[in-house]
Amino acid sequence: MLARLRKAAPLLAGPDQTVDWHTLSRARLGWLRDQLKACGTTPTTINLTLIALRRVAHAAAEQGLIAEEQADELRLARGLPVPNNRPARGRVLPSQAVIALFASCWQDRSATGVRDLALLHGIYDSGLSTAELAGLHVDDYSSAPPMLQVHPARSARRRLVELVGDTADSFGRWRATRGGQRGALFLRLRRGGLQFDMPLAARGITHMVLERSKSAGLASFGPQDLRRTAIHDLLEAGVSMADVHHRFGFVSHVTLATRYDHRDVNDVRWQSQMWQSLALPILDLGQSC
């Protein structure tokens, strides 16, 4: 967040090279957005800069440095985010492909099948990235209640992920198969057994998904395709943007709203959820800094 503020400060500063936060308004944010666009700044950077400034206003109001009315004006500003037309990675898979992928692991009774099924559930049902899965330690898993303590790859903030249904069962089976030795939760496998000194890296998880898709007779796809499909399925099912954001650990609600949500823009429910999601970062000030 500090990097975004440093980028915006020179544009907002007065003749004395200081920023007068009392003059910050919705119109001023709109002017800043246009200046950043003119400089060739990417939509993602512009949107994150606007969020950072709105968070500063919220914090300043809490400390009595600016009027609460001014902070409310900035917090509730609409129409400022810049659409990001750059497509996010991954594609939405047909449901038959997802079922066939999981079936290839269900039919594999070996330790590899047990491990890979837990990994697929971790990506599709729990919203974990390959880096987050590779970074899990055996102590990050709890069986009662079934839960993971996830360490996001780009943030020092941890989040708890509840495991339910088949996901909880698959992680429980893998934990029992893995045994109690300390180390990474997911390990590389060899014909002779587990390799406790060789954690399964993010690249290995990507390779696993590619190989499983091929063995299921599908066009090859990767973990990001599974993530995008899961997000699409949840949003289509009516799950709120806030819940999807929490499950998948996005740093910014803007990323989810502008790059992953492709529902009909004329849908009133879609519009309401999108604007609510863009306002949410102000309410959890500092948690993703």
Q: What is the 3-state secondary structure (H, E, C) of 244-267?
A: HHHHHCCCCHHHHHHHHCCCCCCC
Name the class of domain 95-227: mainly alpha
The model's pLDDT over 189-228, given as tens digits with 9 standing for 90+, comes to: 876 567 777 899 999 999 999 999 988 888 888 898 998 8
The rounded percent of the chain whose pLDDT value lies above 70 is 70
Q: For position 4, what pLDDT does the model report?
A: 55
For residue 161, give the 3-state DSSP assignment: strand
- Maximum pairwise Cα distance, the chain: 71
Which carries the bigger pLDDT value, residue 141 or residue 8?
Answer: 141
Domain with CATH 1.10.443.10 in the chain: 95-227
pTM of the model as a whole: 0.63
Q: Which two tokens stand for residue 72?
A: 């409310």
The residue type found at 277 is: S
Q: Which long-range contacts (CB under 8 A, 24 or more apart) does 280-283 make?
A: 280/241, 280/242, 280/245, 280/253, 281/51, 281/54, 281/55, 281/252, 281/253, 282/51, 282/54, 282/55, 282/58, 282/75
Q: Which residues contact 81 (CB under 8 A, 6 or more apart)?
A: 47, 50, 254, 257, 258, 278
Q: Which two tokens stand for residue 131?
A: 């880096």
Phi and psi angles of residue 38, each rounded to the nearest 5 degrees, phi first? -65, -25
CB of 205 closer than 8 Å to CB of 130: yes
- Hey, CA dihedral for 157, 163, 168, 172, is it positive or negative? positive
The model's pLDDT over 39-60, given as tens digits with 9 standing for 90+, comes to: 877 777 777 777 777 777 777 7
